[in-house]
Amino acid sequence: MAADESTSTIKKRFDAIKLESTEENRRAYRELLFTAPGAQDYISGVIMYDETLRQKTEDGVPFPAYLSQHGMLPGIKVDMGAKPLAGFPGETITEGLDGLRERLAEYYKLGAKFAKWRAVIDIGSEIPSRYAIDANAEALARYATLCQEAGIVPIVEPEVLMDGAHTLERCEEVTNVVLDRVFSHLFAARVFLEGMILKPNMVVAGKKSAQKASPEQVAEATVRTLKRQVPAAVPGIAFLSGGQSPVEATLHLSLMNAAGPLPWALTFSYGRALQEDALNAWGGKSGGYSGGQKALLMRAKLNGLAATGAYKGTMETSAA
């Protein structure tokens, strides 16, 4: 579960339910997610934001310790966000390498077992440029090497955004190039591939595209791309949801797993697609606490089934 929203991003989520984004409200919401009864049956780890990693349950148990005690690995987002790439309008570079070695050492002491770094690649008429792809790929590789040096497993997240009007075919083309360059840089940086997780986008048409792709087309194009670009040495691929609805993200994952056998485990590392139902059910009210946890558990269970290829759309209504 990706629960690593920055303070500004979680404010947008809270604005939607008319809840003030105070440190206590953020803590209470994360506790709702982490302590949902049965969540550990379907969620193996949680990515946290710096603030969250340092917070505690209402009973005073540090979140990393609570998660570890309940069979979920604590993780930490370590990048400092995507900033405009100088000289390349419309493109970004993810920052945060300065001082990362020292921060990783501290996060390790706080209990983090894995980390995440997100690179953002946008598709437009003239972008992405090869330079922007390579700059982000190199940063991902340097981050991953530093993580492994610190005894922390790196999640490598190159996200080709689904914003824009591009077709599924254009997304597949760009995703192929991005993954090719990412693994070239990972290999050059001597990253131990067996000790990392890839967190890619699925191959989907842009939100504004007139040509909508079917779930089957998305699954087929994504698996084809991964087979071409991801070495079998990588043990797991945990998809980001990237703006898909909870149902879409779950269905796409299930269809991919049903197409097996595949050389890597395909699973989920969703943020909004895992939390959206829970956030709305909770609504920031104490009376919605139990309902929020039940909504999270249902979504987690359905995604757990999708990770084995056993999810069906009809389960949405029966699970409710």
Pairwise CA distance, residues 10 & 300, whole Å: 20
Peptide bond into 261 cis (omega under 30): yes
> Where do the H-state alpha helices sit in 71-128?
100-109
User: Is the four-CA dihedral 179, 218, 264, 122 of positive or negative sign?
Assistant: positive
Q: What is the largest CA-CA distance in the chain?
A: 53
CB 76 within 8 A of CB 115: yes
Pairwise CA distance, residues 101 & 212, whole Å: 43
Number of helical H runs and strand E runs in the chain: 12, 10
Active-site residue set: 157, 199
End-to-end CA distance of the chain: 21
Nearest to 180 by CA among 240, 137, 213, 120: 137
